[in-house]
Amino acid sequence: MSMSRTWPVWARTMVSRGIYSRPRTSQERLRRAVEGKTVLITGASQGIGRATASRLAAAGAQVVLTARNESNLRELEEEIRAAGGEAAAYPVDLSQPELIDEMVDKVLAKHAKVDILVNNAGHSIRRSIDLCYDRYHDFHRMTAVNYLGPVKLTLRLLPVMRAAGAGKIVNVSTFAIRTPPFPRWGGYHASKAAFDVWLRAIGPEIRADGVRICSVYMGMVDTAMTAHTPSLHRLPTLTVADAAGIVCDGAAGNRRALGPWWCAPLEAGSVFVGRPLDAVFSRLYQRSSDTDAARRAIL
Ligand SMILES: NC(=O)c1ccc[n+]([C@@H]2O[C@H](COP(=O)([O-])OP(=O)(O)OC[C@H]3O[C@@H](n4cnc5c(N)ncnc54)[C@H](OP(=O)(O)O)[C@@H]3O)[C@@H](O)[C@H]2O)c1
């Protein structure tokens, strides 16, 4: 069993909140920000997206749940409704642009507009480059889910937000795109960085129409995404509830970016430590290995 998972919960929470960041928005403040609003959450079938949807619904938002796993979405829809909240599930595969169109048509027919888009769905792969030579399709599917799908969805929802004169796009990104790139994670980090850069570039274009963006540079979280990589389990991880709380900070607050406190100094410092860090990463790479899942290509 992983060290992270064997730590007492209080110790893990203290350490991970110190290293990453901790959620700050009270349920009351969240309620003031989202009550009565329509919030579309991608990747709501499990993990951070599911927990975020539950928290937003408990604060009075009408949550629109999307992901591929319909039974998980229906279960969450039921759970939220049973607790007195409002939820509607719209299964979709984000790698299929025409299915995104169909889904958005249905959502807008029912809800008229989406006030907040939480771009949370994601797919990650950790694999050495020498295991990737015949796996171009991996890069294609990560790009489809982490970059092109979210772009397509944003292109459909943005005009509606701008016409309404208000809106918010919260992007669940990763702290790792603000650090020097890690070996084995290139495809994932590149696809996450692509959407992050695109969204930040359009931010100033849409601001005058009342649409704001927030990039959440999430720390490590204990979810299905990290489950396949045992080496990550030795690191402190945020709980799913804390991660959802941070996404809700992004939805409720005015910050353009949220993330671990050390990202900014590390970004600035990486100009000077880039070379030595390359050497450190190369050493760490030699001393570590690909997981069974990566070798057997079940990711
Ligand atoms: N866990 C971490 O340590 C960590 C750290 C930094 C950032 N993040 C980011 O946090 C976000 C949520 O990750 P998580 O940890 O909660 O992972 P997760 O438990 O694996 O959830 C990923 C979600 O994305 C959805 N998804 C994947 N492929 C999809 C597709 N083709 N179409 C539609 N939905 C799709 C999945 O739903 P279906 O399978 O039902 O489609 C699932 O709901 C991701 O963007 C990830 O990059 C995670």
pLDDT tens per residue, range 42-92? 999 999 999 999 999 999 999 999 999 999 999 999 999 999 999 999 999
Give catalytic residues, as residue numbers.
188
Answer whether residue 13 is part of any domain: no
The contacts of residue 243 (CB under 8 Å, 6+ apart) are 48, 51, 52, 218, 219, 221, 223
d(CA 18, CA 64): 32
Answer whether residue 77 is part of any domain: yes
Does residue 9 have a pLDDT over 80?
no
172 CA distance to ligand 1 middle (Å): 9
Answer whether residue 56 is part of any domain: yes
Straight-line distance from the first to the last Cα atom of the chain, in angstroms, rounded to the nearest whole number: 21
Give the number of the atom of ligand 1 that is nearest the alpha carbon of residue 173.
Answer: 7
d(CA 227, CA 233): 8
Q: Which tens digit of pLDDT belongs to each residue from 194-243?
A: 999 999 999 999 999 999 999 999 999 999 998 878 777 777 889 999 99
Paired residues of 86 in beta bridges: 62
160 CA distance to ligand 1 middle (Å): 25
Does residue 2 have a pLDDT over 50?
no
Give the number of the atom of ligand 1 that is nearest the alpha carbon of residue 72.
Answer: 40
Answer whether residue 3 is part of any domain: no
d(CA 52, CA 164): 24
d(CA 291, CA 299): 10
**Nearest by Cα to 62 from 82, 43, 80:** 80
d(CA 205, CA 213): 11
Paired residues of 173 in beta bridges: 217
d(CA 152, CA 247): 21
The answer to whether the CB of 85 is under 6 A from ligand 1 is no
Q: Which residue has the tokens 């979810």?
A: 223
Answer whether residue 5 is part of any domain: no
Query: Which of 2, 20, 48 to probe ligand 1 with, by most ligand atoms within 8 A of CB?
Result: 48
The contacts of residue 262 (CB under 8 Å, 6+ apart) are none
Could you tell me the residue range of the domain that residue 256 belongs to?
21-295
Paired residues of 216 in beta bridges: 172, 258
Residue type, 127: R
Answer whether residue 132 is part of any domain: yes
Q: Which of 69-78, 238-247, 254-263, 269-278 bottoms out in mean pLDDT, i.e. has the lowest?
A: 269-278
Mean pLDDT of all residues belonging to the chain: 93
- Split at pLDDT 50, 70, 90, the class of 3 is very low
95 CA distance to ligand 1 middle (Å): 13
Answer whether residue 6 is part of any domain: no
Q: φ, ψ for residue 297 (rounded to 5)?
A: 60, 45
Structural contact between residues 173 and 197, judged by C-beta atoms closer than 8 angstroms: no
Q: What is the mean pLDDT of residues 165-173?
A: 98
d(CA 260, CA 237): 12
The answer to whether the CB of 191 is under 6 A from ligand 1 is no
What's 114's domain CATH number? Answer: 3.40.50.720
Structural contact between residues 95 and 117, judged by C-beta atoms closer than 8 angstroms: no
Give the pLDDT confidence score for residue 38 in this predicted structure.
98
Q: Label residue 115 exposed, middle or buried (CB < 10 Å: 0-12, 13-18, 19+).
A: buried
Q: Provide the domain count of the chain.
A: 1
d(CA 291, CA 122): 20
Answer whether residue 2 is part of any domain: no
The answer to whether the CB of 95 is under 6 A from ligand 1 is yes
Give the pLDDT confidence score for residue 234 in this predicted structure.
74
123 CA distance to ligand 1 middle (Å): 6
Query: Which of 2, 4, 46, 117 to probe ligand 1 with, by most ligand atoms within 8 A of CB?
Result: 46
* Count of other CB atoms within 10 angstroms of residue 194: 18
Q: In the chain, what percentage of residues exceed pLDDT 90?
A: 78
Give the pLDDT confidence score for residue 294 in this predicted structure.
86
> Which residue minimizes the CA distance to atom 5 of ligand 1?
220
Does residue 24 have a pLDDT over 90?
yes
